[in-house]
C-alpha cells in the first residue's frame, strides 16, 4: 500500500500563503535540524531531511508551486525530484548548493557562517609583548610597530592590472570550493585553481603580482588593563590583515608576558612579599615602612611575631575587572645577624642566661620529646 505523502506546507510548518523568504527560512531550519551529519545513523532524521528538500524544491519554484496549489501532489509528480524524491544527499547538495546567495547552505551550517564571508575575512595576526610587573599592575598603553599586509594601492586589492577585473573561476564556478565523494561522505576542499577565492586573475597587477596586498609597516597602540596576568591574550579587533573583496579585516592577538618582580609575587588578586624584621622588632613589636604598588606604607609588627607570620594590608593588592583591589600579604622574615658587635654579643648572652633560668629551653625540649613518645 503506497505511503500517503504529507502536505508540503505542513512539512515546512507554513501556511499556504507563505512568502518565498519564509519558505527559505523554514527549509534552512529543518535542514539544520535533520542533517545526517548531525544525526549519524538516524534513518528517521535522514527521511525528514529528504522530505524537507523535496518540499522546498516544489515550493521555491513559482511554476511548481502554482501546479501544486491547484492539483496537489498529482500536479508535480514527475517534475524534477517531486514525486520520486531525492536518491542521495549528493542530489540535495547539488540541487541547493547556492540557494542562499553565493554560499552553500551546508557550508553555512557547519562552519559557523557563510563560506564566502569566512573566506573573504582577512587573516588574524599574533604578537608577543613583554611588560614589567609594575606596568601590568597599574595598566598601561603600549605602542607596537607591526609589519602586515595592506591592500595594494595600485589595484585597490583586486590583484588585477588597473583597467581589468578578476574573472569567475571556471573550475569551482565562483564558489571557491570543490566537492569530492558521494552520499553522506562528501569532502569539501578549497578550489585548487583559485585558492578558495572564487576568482582568477588573468592580467596581474604589476605592483602586488595578483596578491592584492603588499607588506607595510604600521604603528598600533594597545591598551593593557590594570591587573593583566602573565600569559593573557588580548584581541585587538580589526587590526589584522585586510579581507578580500571588501571582506572584514582580521584581528590582532597580543600574547602578554609579564616579567617577574624581585619583591612581589602575585597570587590571584593578592600580592605576597617577604619583609625582613630584626629579632628585637619581632619580639617587642614595631612600626615599619613597607613598599607597596602605591609607594611606601606603614605596617605594625605585633610583639611576639614569629618567622613566616602573615600580616595583611587590605586594599593594596591587584585590581580586578571591577576596579576593586585585593590585599598585600606580608610574610615576616626574622633576620638573624651574621656579624655581631661586642655589645650585641653581651646582650644576647645575657638574654640567653635569662631564658635558661626561665626554663624556656627545657620547655622546648620537653615539647619535642612528647612528639616521639
**Confidence check: pLDDT of 115 > 70:** no
Which CATH fold topology does 122-161+209-259 show?
A: HSP40/DNAj peptide-binding domain (2.60.260)
- Tell the residue number behind the cell numbers 573550475, with chain if given: 171
Q: Which of 117, 215, 203 is nearest to 158 (CA)?
A: 203
Alpha helices (H) along 83-179: 89-96, 105-111, 115-120, 133-138
Segments making up each domain of the chain, as ranges:
8-96, 122-161+209-259, 167-200, 264-336, 345-373
- Distance between CA atoms of residues 33 and 46, nearest Å: 10
264-336 folds as HSP40/DNAj peptide-binding domain (2.60.260)
Average pLDDT (321-330) is 91
Q: Is the pLDDT of residue 369 over 60?
A: no
- Asked if residue 176 lies in contact with residue 118, where contact means CB atoms within 8 angstroms, the answer is no
pLDDT value for 37: 65
**Does the fold of domain 264-336 match that of domain 122-161+209-259?**
yes
Strand partners, 223: 141
Specify whether the CB–CB gap between 221 and 141 falls below 8 A.
yes
* pLDDT on residue 152: 93
Query: Across the strands, what pairs with 150?
Result: 214
Instruction: Classify each residue of 131-157 as buried b or exposed e, where b means 16 or more C-beta atoms within 10 Å of its C-beta.
Output: bebebbbeebeeeeeeebbebbeebeb
Confidence of residue 42 (pLDDT cuts 50, 70, 90): confident
More confident residue, 88 or 242: 242
CA distance 1 to 14: 28
User: What mean pLDDT is predicted for residues 121-143?
Assistant: 93
**For residues 223 and 98, is the Cβ–Cβ distance under 8 A?**
no
Is the model's pLDDT at 183 over the cut of 60?
Answer: no
Q: How confident is the model at residue 117 (pLDDT cuts 50, 70, 90)?
A: very low
pLDDT tops 90 at residue 316: yes
The whole-chain average pLDDT of the chain stands at: 82
DSSP class of 75: G
Task: Indicate the pairing of strand 252-258 with strand 233-236.
Answer: antiparallel
Does residue 116 have a pLDDT over 50? no
Kindly report the pTM of this predicted structure. 0.57
Fold held by 8-96: Helix Hairpins (1.10.287)
Distances (CA, A) of 51 to 15, 33, 58, 302: 17, 13, 11, 81
Give the separation between CA 58 and CA 55, rounded to whole angstroms. Answer: 5
pLDDT of residue 122: 86
Q: Rounded mean pLDDT of 321-349? A: 89
pLDDT average, residue stretch 307-313: 96
Low-confidence winner among 62-66, 180-184, 279-283, 343-347 (lowest mean pLDDT): 180-184
Query: What is the reported pLDDT for 101?
Result: 39
- Listing from the earlier edge strand, what are the strands of the sheet with 125-131? 125-131, 252-258, 233-236
Mean pLDDT of 191-214: 89
Could you read off the pLDDT of 239-296 as tens digits, one per residue? 999 987 777 899 999 999 999 999 999 999 999 999 999 988 999 999 999 999 999 9
pLDDT of residue 125: 93
Amino acid at each position: 500500500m503506497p505511503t500517503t505523502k504529507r502536505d508540503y506546507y505542513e512539512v515546512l510548518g507554513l501556511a499556504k500563503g507563505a512568502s518565498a523568504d519564509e519558505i527559505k527560512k523554514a527549509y534552512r531550519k529543518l535542514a539544520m535540524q535533520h542533517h545526517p551529519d548531525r544525526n549519524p545513523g538516524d534513518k528517521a532524521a535522514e527521511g525528514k531531511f529528504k522530505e524537507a528538500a523535496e518540499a522546498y524544491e516544489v515550493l521555491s519554484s513559482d511554476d511548481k508551486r502554482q501546479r501544486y496549489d491547484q492539483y496537489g501532489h498529482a500536479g508535480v509528480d514527475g517534475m524534477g525530484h517531486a514525486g520520486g524524491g531525492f536518491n542521495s544527499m549528493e542530489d540535495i547538495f547539488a540541487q541547493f548548493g547556492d540557494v542562499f546567495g553565493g554560499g552553500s547552505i551546508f557550508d553555512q551550517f557547519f562552519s559557523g557562517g557563510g563560506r564566502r564571508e569566512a573566506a573573504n575575512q582577512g587573516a588574524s595576526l599574533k604578537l608577543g609583548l613583554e611588560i614589567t610587573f609594575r606596568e601590568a599592575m597599574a595598566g598601561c598603553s603600549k605602542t607596537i610597530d607591526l609589519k602586515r599586509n595592506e591592500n595594494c594601492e595600485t589595484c585597490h586589492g583586486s590583484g588585477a592590472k588597473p583597467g581589468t577585473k578578476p574573472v569567475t573561476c571556471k573550475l569551482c564556478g565562483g564558489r571557491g570550493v570543490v566537492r569530492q565523494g558521494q552520499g553522506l561522505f562528501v569532502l569539501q576542499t578549497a578550489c585548487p585553481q583559485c585558492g578558495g577565492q572564487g576568482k582568477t586573475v588573468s592580467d596581474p597587477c604589476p605592483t602586488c603580482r595578483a596578491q592584492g596586498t603588499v607588506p607595510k609597516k604600521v604603528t598600533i597602540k594597545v591598551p593593557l588593563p590594570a591587573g593583566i596576568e602573565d600569559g593573557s591574550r588580548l584581541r585587538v579587533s580589526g587590526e589584522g590583515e585586510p579581507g578580500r573583496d571588501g571582506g572584514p579585516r582580521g584581528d590582532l592577538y597580543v600574547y602578554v608576558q609579564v616579567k617577574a618582580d624581585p619583591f612581589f609575587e602575585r597570587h590571584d588578586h593578592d600580592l605576597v612579599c617577604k619583609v625582613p624584621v630584626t629579632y628585637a622588632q619581632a619580639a617587642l613589636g614595631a612600626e615599619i615602612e613597607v613598599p607597596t604598588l602605591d609607594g611606601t606604607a606603614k605596617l605594625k609588627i605585633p610583639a611576639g611575631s614569629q618567622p613566616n607570620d602573615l600580616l595583611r594590608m587590605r586594599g593594596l593588592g591587584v585590581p580586578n575587572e571591577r576596579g576593586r583591589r585585593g590585599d598585600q600579604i606580608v610574610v615576616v622574615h626574622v633576620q638573624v645577624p651574621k656579624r655581631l658587635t661586642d655589645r650585641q654579643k653581651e646582650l644576647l648572652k645575657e638574654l640567653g642566661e635569662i631564658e635558661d633560668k626561665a626554663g624556656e629551653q627545657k620547655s622546648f625540649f620537653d615539647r619535642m620529646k612528647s612528639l616521639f613518645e
